[in-house]
């Protein structure tokens, strides 16, 4: 059996860490099983869906390294959904209801007051043809509900184990709105059937949905996919991320300079039994992926952890992979420069700061009381700087000025880089060169 999975975003926004994690679970699983990955664009909501978001989602997936075997739009398949809806109507499984949303609201309020669950009362099922006609003549358009069996639906979830949803506790789901448009439930099932989807992998907010959808599957097909519902992502404080998702979009993370593989490493490992380490290819991530490693607790996403992992990813990445990234930032090939700064940056664009400090004009900033010391240091700096220069030079300065520790080193760092911390000075001063170092030791603002 070929594994076929789909990732089904709605093009009503860009991808964020939450839906990228769902995409990853599908993609990594498919890759590991040598199956097919389908990108389904859930654009049945034609008002909120835009082409720009669809393009953005595709750009995000490509950037992350998650290509697809096939893509299609639900908005192109309305006639298919209609045809199958007609079949359900013929079978008496899709029935018209004429309540307005205000009436339904009132009904639910009443049920709540009576201490009953707010489940639809199935009044639509009781209507005679004459009553339906009367509603139609009064200008009401029906919405259509799927008739649930009232039985318990069971499945073996790849993450959650044995699951059961008692459909008698659910309202018959509306599949078609009064204006004739489809809600998500039916198109998703129809597509999963037509595309021979073998595994439906999605967030656990869809568990109840799955209970109802399995009944729709049963009504339309003799095959039901295997389900995996993954725990949702929460922030490090344990709270939902919904309010922050805009700032956690791939568009944002990319513009901040985060690496796609660092993002994929983190999102595929949090909430699993694996340790969180950067990986350098998607195929390694897929070979390590298994549903059995995913825990039931929500996965905690922490921006700081992502930055740290990104830094570790860059530090461990071979120089030949770093070179093109630096070139993109306008930094010409310099392995020494990279060796110097690799442990001091968390994102590749921070290399620009150090490049400018080392290769462009920078004015140091020191305390007025360190002025003479820095002037003297400039005089004592040899014109040829080698690996030992820093040690020898600072040893001489130590004796001559009777300074040690912070008093000795900080003014030099401040005059030479303009900053209080950064890469190893013994190496930095080699790249800086003697002339520039001397000039900075004499030309600072104090």
Binding stretches for ligand GLU (CB under 6 A): 8-10, 42, 184, 188, 202, 206
Closer residue to ligand GLU in complex, CB, 48/106 = 48
Residue 7 or 354: the one with the smaller Cβ distance to ligand GLU is: 7
**Whole-angstrom distance, CA of residue 26 vs CA of residue 225:** 14
Q: How far is the CB of 74 from ligand GLU (least distance, A)?
A: 9
CB of 14 to ligand GLU, least distance (A): 13
Nearest to ligand GLU of 202, 403 (CB atom)? 202
Distance separating alpha carbons of residues 303 and 125, to the nearest angstrom: 51
Tell me whether residue 187 or residue 311 sits nearer to ligand GLU (CB atom): 187
**Shortest Cβ 260–ligand GLU spacing (Å):** 21
Alpha helices in 142-225 (DSSP H): 185-194, 207-220
DSSP secondary structure code for residue 140 in this structure: -
Smallest separation (angstroms) from ligand GLU to the CB of 10: 5
Instruction: CB nearer to ligand GLU: give 183 or 353.
Output: 183
CA-CA distance, 373 to 375, in Å (whole number)? Answer: 6
Q: Say how many C-beta atoms besides its own lie within 10 A of residue 201's C-beta.
A: 26
Report in angstroms how near the CB of residue 227 gets to ligand GLU at its nearest. 10
Q: Closest separation between CB of residue 9 and ligand GLU, Å?
A: 6
Least distance (Å) between residue 23 CB and ligand GLU: 10
Do 39 and 69 contact (CB within 8 A), yes or no?
no
| DSSP per position, 97-129 | E---HHHHHHHHHHHHHTT-------HHHH--H
**CB 186, CB 144: distance < 8 Å:** no
Minimum CB–partner distance for residue 118 and ligand GLU (Å) = 22
What are 253's two structure tokens? 């993370």
C-beta closer to ligand GLU: residue 14 or 202: 202
- Scan for tokens 């890469």, then name that residue: 423
Q: What is the Cα–Cα distance from 366 to 124, expressed in whole angstroms?
A: 81
Q: Which is nearer to ligand GLU, 209 or 252 (CB)?
A: 209
What is the SS3 assignment for 68? coil
CA atoms within 13 A on the CB side of 44: 24
- Please give the angle made by the CA atoms of 139, 141 and 145, to the nearest 5 degrees: 155
For ligand GLU, give the closer residue by CB, 9 or 142: 9
Beta strands at 143-146 and 299-301: parallel, antiparallel or unpaired: unpaired
């Amino acid at each position: 059996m070929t594994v076929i999975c789909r990732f089904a975003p709605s093009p009503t926004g860009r991808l964020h860490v939450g839906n990228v994690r769902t995409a990853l679970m599908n993609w990594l699983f498919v890759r590991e099983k040598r199956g097919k990955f389908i990108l389904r664009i859930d654009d049945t909501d034609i008002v909120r869906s835009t082409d720009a978001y669809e393009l953005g989602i595709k750009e995000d997936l490509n950037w992350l390294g998650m290509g697809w075997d096939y893509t299609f739009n639900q908005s192109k398949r309305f006639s298919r959904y209609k045809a199958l809806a007609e079949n359900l109507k013929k079978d008496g499984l899709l029935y018209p209801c004429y309540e307005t949303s205000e009436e339904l609201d009132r009904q639910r309020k009443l049920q709540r007051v009576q201490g009953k669950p707010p489940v639809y009362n199935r009044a639509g099922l009781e209507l005679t043809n004459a009553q339906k006609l009367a509603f139609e003549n009064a200008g009401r358009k029906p919405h259509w509900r799927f008739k649930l069996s009232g039985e318990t639906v069971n499945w073996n979830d790849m993450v959650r184990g044995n699951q059961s949803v008692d459909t008698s506790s659910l309202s018959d789901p509306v599949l078609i709105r009064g204006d004739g448009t489809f809600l998500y439930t039916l198109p998703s099932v129809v597509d999963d059937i037509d595309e021979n989807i073998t595994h439906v992998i999605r967030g656990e907010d869809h568990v109840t949905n799955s209970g109802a959808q399995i009944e729709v599957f049963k009504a339309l097909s003799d095959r039901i996919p295997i389900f995996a519902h993954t725990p949702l992502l929460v922030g490090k404080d344990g709270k939902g991320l919904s309010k922050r998702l805009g700032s956690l979009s791939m568009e944002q993370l990319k513009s901040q300079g985060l690496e796609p593989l660092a993002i994929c490493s983190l999102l595929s490992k949090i909430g699993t039994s694996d340790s969180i380490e950067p990986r350098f290819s998607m195929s390694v991530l897929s070979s390590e992926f298994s549903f059995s490693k995913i825990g039931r607790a929500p996965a905690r996403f922490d921006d700081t952890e992502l930055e740290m992992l990104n830094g570790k990813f860059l530090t461990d990445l071979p120089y030949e992979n770093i070179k093109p990234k630096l070139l993109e930032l306008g930094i010409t090939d310099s392995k020494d420069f990279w060796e110097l700064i690799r442990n001091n940056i968390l994102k590749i664009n921070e290399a620009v700061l150090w490049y400018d400090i080392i290769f462009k004009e920078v004015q140091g900033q020191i305390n007025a009381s360190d002025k003479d010391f820095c002037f003297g240091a400039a005089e004592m700096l040899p014109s040829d700087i080698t690996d030992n220069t820093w040690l020898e030079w600072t040893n001489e300065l130590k004796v001559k000025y009777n300074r040690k520790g912070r008093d000795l080193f900080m003014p030099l760092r401040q005059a030479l880089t303009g900053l209080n911390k950064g890469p190893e000075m013994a190496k930095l001063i080699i790249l800086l060169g003697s002339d520039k170092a001397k000039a900075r030791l004499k030309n600072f603002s104090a």
